[in-house]
């Protein structure tokens, strides 16, 4: 991987081992920035900021991240130019790509840092974002269906607020279109949760030494194939029409779905301790890596940023045992790296935006 004017990196070039690589150094040296660069290279998405100009090094107008990965399907090279005006340019195997959706599926990655606790602690939007990003990496078609759905939803909501005399007739046209993409999204999310649930339960049982029982459930309420879902969703849209007109926005659909998470039968968001919530979020991410392996025949790159400090000794060791066969980028301070004794890993030190392999 090569970086130029990315966060606090003026220039950097580093290779990562097949197994676990530890990015070690004091706080505020660039460990998390390096982890972020890897995930951004894979997805075009930063888990830390919404404005991409914030990724460009202070005082510079542009920067880039570039990397080559080997997979069962051969080598792939991704290069992303970043600009202070919030624009970016993406190249795959030296060829420019016009849409960010084309980036998905080239290099798979799963990211976890303390901010991922939002997945468990906060709003349904955070859990939808988790599902959307996982599914987009697995299928460009899902990403484009999501884009289409959001565009039609925006137009439908504008229509609901307009007060036009022909509103009901026009609304039915948007309803038909919305139902097509809603069905695609709901069907794929149902499939994801069907696979994710037992894998997350297994990962959580392993890390917690079987002391806690994790359960997931979907809240969409739709089952069956795409056509069955489309018909049921269309009926729900019609039933909600009066309410939608009164409120001025669409009250049903995958943009309002949630994934419920239970620990020992209780809603973990309301009753779980912070430590339990952290283990649940981590288990979901580990389950995601297994789904990638089942689908593509190989694990994604697993990025674990600042995880060790928040786990007790037993769960740290369970985690390290779990990720042994996955290419994992793990950030920790020099002090925390002591808990890795007995495990095989490569080490890269990070100091003032300089990476040095050992």
Q: What is the pLDDT of residues 195-207, one digit of tens each?
A: 999 999 999 999 9
- For residues 97-104, give the mean pLDDT: 93
Say if residue 164's pLDDT is above 80: no
**Residue 30: is its pLDDT beyond 70?**
yes
- Give the pairing type, strands 62-71 and 74-83: antiparallel
Residue pLDDT, tens place only, 123-144: 999 999 999 999 999 999 999 9
pLDDT score of 166 more than 80: no
Q: Which residues pair with 6 in a beta bridge?
A: 9, 56
d(CA 339, CA 336): 6
Kindly report each contact of residues 314-320 with a partner whose C-beta sits within 8 Å and lies 24 or more positions away, as own/partner: 314/209, 315/207, 315/208, 315/279, 318/206, 318/207, 318/209, 319/207, 319/282, 320/20
pLDDT at 60 over 80: yes
Residue 55 has pLDDT above 70, yes or no: yes
pLDDT-derived band at 4 (thresholds 50, 70, 90) equals very high
74-83, 106-115, 307-316, 345-354: range with lowest mean pLDDT: 307-316
- Average pLDDT (116-125) is 92
pLDDT value at residue 337: 63
List the single range of 275-289, 293-307, 327-341 with lowest mean pLDDT: 327-341
Whether the per-residue pLDDT at 338 is higher than 70: the answer is no
Mean pLDDT of the chain: 92
Q: Over pLDDT 70: what percentage of the chain?
A: 98
**pLDDT band (50, 70, 90) for residue 81:** very high
pTM of the predicted protein model: 0.93
pLDDT over 60 (residue 335): no
80-102 average pLDDT score: 94
By the 8 A CB rule, do 230 and 183 touch?
Answer: yes
Average pLDDT over residues 7-30: 93
Mean pLDDT of 112-131: 93
* 28-57: average pLDDT: 94
- Say whether pLDDT at 246 is over 60: yes
Domains and CATH numbers, the chain: 1-108+300-358 (3.40.50.300)
Task: Report how far apart, in Å, the C-alpha atoms of 236 and of each of 147, 241, 350 are.
Answer: 22, 9, 54
**72 pLDDT tier (thresholds 50, 70, 90):** confident
Reported residue count of the chain is 358
pLDDT of residue 334: 66
Q: What is the mean pLDDT of residues 314-338?
A: 85
The 10s digit of each residue's pLDDT in 172-194 is 899 999 999 999 999 999 999 99
């Amino acid at each position: 991987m090569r970086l130029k004017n990315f966060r606090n990196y003026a220039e950097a070039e580093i290779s990562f081992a097949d197994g676990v690589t530890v990015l070690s150094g004091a706080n505020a040296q660039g460990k998390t920035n390096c982890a972020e660069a890897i995930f951004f290279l894979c997805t075009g998405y930063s888990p830390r900021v919404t404005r991409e100009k914030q990724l460009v090094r202070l005082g510079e107008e542009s920067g880039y991240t570039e990397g080559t990965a080997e997979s069962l399907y051969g080598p792939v090279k991704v290069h992303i130019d970043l600009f202070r005006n919030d624009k970016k340019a993406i190249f795959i195997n030296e060829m420019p790509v016009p849409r960010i959706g084309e980036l998905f599926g080239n290099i798979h990655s799963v990211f976890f840092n303390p901010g991922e606790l939002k997945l468990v602690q906060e709003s349904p939007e955070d859990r939808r974002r988790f599902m959307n990003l996982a599914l987009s990496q697995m299928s460009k078609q899902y990403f484009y269906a999501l884009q289409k759905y959001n565009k039609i939803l925006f137009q439908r909501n504008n229509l609901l607020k307009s007060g036009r005399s022909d509103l009901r007739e026009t609304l039915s046209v948007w309803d038909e279109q919305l139902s097509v993409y809603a069905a695609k999204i709901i069907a794929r999310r149902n499939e994801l949760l069907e696979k994710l649930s037992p894998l997350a339960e297994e990962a959580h049982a392993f890390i917690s030494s079987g002391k806690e029982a994790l359960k997931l459930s979907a809240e969409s309420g739709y089952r069956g194939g795409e056509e069955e879902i489309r018909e049921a969703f269309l009926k729900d849209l019609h039933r909600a029409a009066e309410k939608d007109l009164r409120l001025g926005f669409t009250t049903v659909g995958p943009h309002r779905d949630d994934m419920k998470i239970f620990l020992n039968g209780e809603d973990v968001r309301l009753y779980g301790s912070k430590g339990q919530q952290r283990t649940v979020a981590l288990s979901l991410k580990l389950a995601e890596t297994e789904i990638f392996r089942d689908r593509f025949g190989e694990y994604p790159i697993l990025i674990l940023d600042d995880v060790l400090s928040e786990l007790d000794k037993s769960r740290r060791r369970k985690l390290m045992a779990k990720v042994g066969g996955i290419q994992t980028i793990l950030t920790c301070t020099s002090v925390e790296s002591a808990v890795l004794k007995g495990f095989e890993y490569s080490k890269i030190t990070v100091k003032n935006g300089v990476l040095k392999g050992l």
